[in-house]
Structure 1
Amino acid sequence: MKRGFEVVSKYKDRGVKLPVRMTKDAAGYDFFAAEDFLLPSIWKFNFLKILYALHKQKNITKTELLEGQKCLKPFLVPTGIKAYMKEDEFLMLANRSSSPLKRSLILPNGVGIIDADYYNNPNNEGEIFVQLVNFGLKDQLIKKGDRIGQGIFLPYLVADNDEGGKETRTGGFGSSGK
């Protein structure tokens, strides 16, 4: 087996959908939400107040600034899925083209990278979460089974004389960014 998807044990027998390509020429596998998830709008926090203060270069408190940053933090929507692949590959998570238009949902950095050694890690079994920000005016209820992102398997290259990559992954989400 070269690459593919499995349901993590937490979601076994809970009707979680494996990612699928919707058309024969599609590069991306659509990922589905594993459960209902309420994604708050960035506008419900003091986002406008902070944005206005920063624009006008007015003094804002550290607490207000932290609250402004909090409203822009992404939320992790569970998929209940893990991905396996060859050592020289990764899974790139990306926005679905319709998500920003129809639902005002985006991956905050545009893409997410799932490394091959994330699969079956001891912290969370390699479950993939899709980071999303809701820039719409209202909170968005993501229903179980809604398409929330897409994943594309890709090979990668390393630089000549590469001396990195000697550590072994010991954790789950975000663990390689110590």
Structure 2
Amino acid sequence: MDLRVTKLDPRAVIPEYKTSLAACFDLTVIEDAIVPAHQQVLLRTGLGFGIPKEHAMLIFSRSSTFMKFGVILANGVGMIDSDYSGETDEIFLAVLNPGMDDVKIQAGSRVAQAMIIERPTMRFVEGPAEDINRGSFGTTGGHGAPGV
């Protein structure tokens, strides 16, 4: 399956899978950025994507991102819908610095990775709850919320 990638900035790096069995492709930052302690910053990729209909893009931190850069994705996992594909719809990476010191991210750094997934359209049907009560947070390990 083809995935249209548009360079919205000439410095953008077209992603590639780094191994033949990789599930994700890396997203590269195109500008140096300072992420102040306890703050979040949007990092530019300079890329737009033509995600096929009935698909979506998930964006994750790379496994080495926190150890190398001291930042995490501010939203945990990013979700890009297939209709975010206009000529100014650039993919940004929202990163958070939970540390005590400012962090510098250099242009060319691979901070995040993305994958394309199928997105089925569900039909919502109202109905009664099932006759199963599972409890609350952590109940399968015997650590349910108090009073539940």
TM range (shorter): 0.7 to 0.9
Matched, 1:151 2:147: no
Matched, 1:25 2:21: yes
What do you get for the CA RMSD once the two structures are aligned? Answer: 1.8
Matched, 1:112 2:78: yes
Match of 2:129 in 1: none
Q: For the Cα contact (< 8 Å) 1:92–1:112, is it kept in 2? A: yes
Separation in 2, partners of 1:136, 1:4: 37
Q: For the Cα contact (< 8 Å) 2:15–2:25, is it kept in 1? A: yes
Q: Percent of aligned positions with the same letter in both sequences?
A: 29
Match of 1:4 in 2: 4
Match of 2:93 in 1: 130
Separation in 2, partners of 1:25, 1:84: 23
What is the CA distance between 1:161 and its match in structure 2? 5.1
Q: Which has the higher helix share?
A: 1
Match of 1:92 in 2: 58
Match of 2:34 in 1: 38
Q: For the Cα contact (< 8 Å) 2:69–2:104, is it kept in 1? A: no
Q: Cα deviations across residues 18-64 of structure 1 (Å, max 9, x unaligned)?
A: 1222211111110011111111111xxxxxxxxxxxxxxxxxxxxxx
| Greater C-alpha Rg | 2
Q: Which has the higher strand share?
A: 2
Separation in 1, partners of 2:18, 2:98: 26
Separation in 2, partners of 1:5, 1:146: 19
Separation in 1, partners of 2:4, 2:63: 23
Separation in 1, partners of 2:98, 2:69: 9
Q: How many residues align?
A: 125
Match of 1:68 in 2: none
Q: For the Cα contact (< 8 Å) 1:93–1:111, is it kept in 2? A: yes
**Over 3 Å off, 4+ runs:** none
Report the residue type matching 1:108 in the other structure.
Answer: A
Report the residue type matching 1:159 in the other structure.
Answer: M
Separation in 2, partners of 1:89, 1:22: 22
Q: Cα deviations across residues 147-174 of structure 1 (Å, max 9, x unaligned)?
A: 1101101111122258xxxxxxxxxxxx
